[in-house]
Amino acid sequence: MLILVSCLLLLVTALALIVLRVVQPNARYTWLAAVGGGILALASVFLWLAQMPFVFLLPAWKPLALFATPILFSADGISWALAVAIAALTVSTLLTAVAQPVFTMSFSWVGTLALGAIGILAVTADNPLTLLLVWAALDITELVTQLGSVNGPANNEKVVISFSTRALGIGLLIWASVVSAAEGNVFEFESMPVGASVYLVVAAGLRLGVLPLHLPYSPESRVRRGFGTPLRLVSAVSSLVLLGRIPAVNMNSGWGIILMILAVVAALYGGWMWLRAPDDLNGRPYWVIGVASLSVVSALSGNPVGAVAWGCALILVGGALFLASVQNPWLSRAMLVGAWSLSTLPFSLTASAWISTPGLFTPFIVAAHALIVAGFIRHALRPSGRDTLDSQPGWTRAVYPAGIYLLIITQLLLGWIGWQGAAQIGAWLQAIIASLLTFGLFWATRRFRIFNPVRAHWVASTASGLNSIYQGLWDIYRTLARMSHAVTLALEGEGGIMWTLLFLALFVSLIVQGTP
């Protein structure tokens, strides 16, 4: 029941903001209402610890022959950590909103609260059917929110292609259930065959939200850093939770080796592009790719707890960096705690990431890990291009840092208590090697130009990279749309009756030929 309470606190707050916008458009306490609801939801998630593990079961759907598995949510040592991370990011996004030049009630606050509520439901989903429904609700929420906050047909196209990519991930989840049913298994994570896990790993990858590469907002838009941060990170984490539930893929099988190779290549590519990115927002898609790939590697290595640890780091460490829009030397130094959280050293947030090592792939994974951490340090210490709070009121200068410190404190807290990955020694040898390599890379970024490409060249090369995949998918969509339009014109034009008669004649002839 506590799961429902946490989600309802966020959803009711979002609904209250909409009502206030309609009834009292100039109300001055809307932000207080939004932050209050978020803080209550975060506190309620910590109350889960008093009853964990527990489940929240909805009444069974009928007919039971068709819906054999109920809608089930569970709070355990995996889902709790991700729920805390999502709730903390929601509150932090609202607290740091005070740094925006125009501080008025925005529907982005409503979207942030709604994403937080649905994200908590996603990470607590205990079977594929529940996760499928929550994914669909999350996709619809993102679609409506994005379409209402972007302008122009080109940006609308990006929103549609992003929605289509995630819908394909839902399709793969459905296909995995078909494979599981064909082998006589119930549609449950625990009983799902290893062969179906391959489709689930691919489904999680498709739903990371990296196509299109950048969100459909203008570069100067404040939405990219505010609402854009939970939009990117909550969607990714709601997909990575799948990796903590599925059975391990056999690494000796062909599919297991192929998936591991793809995950390693993606981690190296994401880490390299993240390290060389001109700023944190342009590099954010590569942060998601790199950290999510390390999560996939942990899952493929038979370490679901490590996969969840990387998911928590993705949203907490990345959230603190991407929400930091104000130049503050002390805050920049405090964000370096994120490097500790990413280090996999004992008692850090990701200490459980190396409990199961991926064998011959270990050197490449260590290199990718070092690239990601070095890139984080580089972006955290870069003050250029950020505003200041010198002209803001005193309460703003106090509230804004509190939003960043909340995520930093949560990183440290999850390294010690509350879930299965807490208070772990881990594989300290790999962690030390990765840390030494990280310091070497950070030293090199300040002395070699290859690590600091010209911004215009970097953006152009980026556009020809992953965006080419996006353009290819969109060209396929346009081709299919033109074909559909041509068929529609042929059937609805002046020759529509003739085509109808022709199809009727063919249909009758087929029936006649089939009769004895």
Of 111-115, 160-164, 259-263, 409-413, the one with minimum mean pLDDT is: 160-164
Residue 436's pLDDT is 92
Question: 392: alpha, beta or left, given left = phi > 0 and alpha = psi -120 to 50?
Answer: beta
- What gap in Å lies between CA 291 and CA 270, rounded to an integer? 8
- What gap in Å lies between CA 511 and CA 506, rounded to an integer? 9
Per the listing, tokens 């984080």 go with: 376
Residue 57's pLDDT is 83
| Cα torsion through 106, 109, 111, 114, rounded to 10 | -150
User: Do 200 and 281 touch, CB atoms closer than 8 A?
Assistant: no
Q: What is the mean pLDDT of residues 162-187?
A: 77
- What gap in Å lies between CA 196 and CA 510, rounded to an integer? 39
Give me the domain span that covers residue 444. Answer: 250-450
- What gap in Å lies between CA 289 and CA 275, rounded to an integer? 13
| 270 occurs within a structural domain | yes
Instruction: Using a pLDDT cut of 70, give the percent of the chain over it.
Output: 74
Quick check: 470 pLDDT over 70? no
User: Do 299 and 243 touch, CB atoms closer than 8 A?
Assistant: yes
| 191 occurs within a structural domain | no
| 334 occurs within a structural domain | yes
Quick check: 466 pLDDT over 60? no
| 475 occurs within a structural domain | no
| Cα torsion through 46, 50, 53, 59, rounded to 10 | -90
Quick check: 372 pLDDT over 90? yes
Q: What is the mean pLDDT of residues 447-459?
A: 62
| 306 occurs within a structural domain | yes
pLDDT digits (tens, 9 = 90+) for 393-432: 677 778 888 989 999 999 999 989 888 888 888 788 888 9
Q: Name the β-bridge partners of 75.
A: 54
Of 46-55, 57-66, 483-492, the one with minimum mean pLDDT is: 483-492
| 391 occurs within a structural domain | yes
Q: What is the mean pLDDT of residues 446-472?
A: 59
Quick check: 477 pLDDT over 70? no
Higher pLDDT, 400 or 196: 400
Buried residues in 166-180 as b, exposed as e (16+ CB within 10 A):
beebbebbeebbebb
pLDDT digits (tens, 9 = 90+) for 13-45: 999 988 888 888 777 788 888 999 999 999 999
Q: What is the mean pLDDT of residues 349-371?
A: 84
| 371 occurs within a structural domain | yes
Residue 102's pLDDT is 52
Q: What is the mean pLDDT of residues 54-59?
A: 82
- At 87, the pLDDT band (50, 70, 90 cuts) reads very high
| 349 occurs within a structural domain | yes
- What gap in Å lies between CA 157 and CA 469, rounded to an integer? 15
pLDDT digits (tens, 9 = 90+) for 319-343: 999 988 777 777 888 889 999 999 9
Q: What is the mean pLDDT of residues 173-182?
A: 78
Number of domains in the chain: 1
Residue 209's pLDDT is 58
| Cα torsion through 270, 272, 275, 280, rounded to 10 | -30
